[in-house]
């Protein structure tokens, strides 16, 4: 499970079950297990500090590169 953090202020945004390898480019909504401080305004997700983090694309959020970091482990890592 990954915890997605705002790159600017390090606030926890949500928990995400990442599958497969590679970078976090999208966050599928069905795999977001816990929602912290992120706010949805229009079609964008913002941190409470006002930074845009991702864009709502219906079934997933397309993440804005450089706007977030993450901690935790990816699944199916052996």
Query: Residue 9 or 40: which CB sits closer to Zn ion?
Result: 9
Query: Residue 37 or 62: which CB sits closer to Zn ion?
Result: 37
Q: What tokens appear for 20 in the block?
A: 């497969």
Asked whether the beta carbons of 4 and 70 are under 8 A apart, the reply is yes
Nearest approach, Cβ of residue 49 and Zn ion (Å): 3
CB atoms within 10 A of CB 45: 26
Residues that bind Zn ion (CB under 5 A): 6, 8-9, 11, 47, 49, 51
Query: Residue 45 or 47: which CB sits closer to Zn ion?
Result: 47
Q: What tokens appear for 40 in the block?
A: 């949805």
């Amino acid at each position: 499970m990954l915890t997605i953090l705002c790159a600017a202020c390090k606030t926890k945004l949500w928990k995400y079950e990442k599958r497969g390898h590679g970078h976090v480019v999208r966050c599928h909504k069905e795999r977001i297990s816990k929602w912290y401080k992120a706010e949805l305004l229009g079609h964008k997700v913002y941190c409470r500090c006002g930074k845009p983090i991702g864009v709502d694309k219906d079934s997933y959020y397309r993440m804005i590169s450089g706007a977030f970091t993450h901690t935790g482990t990816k699944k199916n890592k052996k």
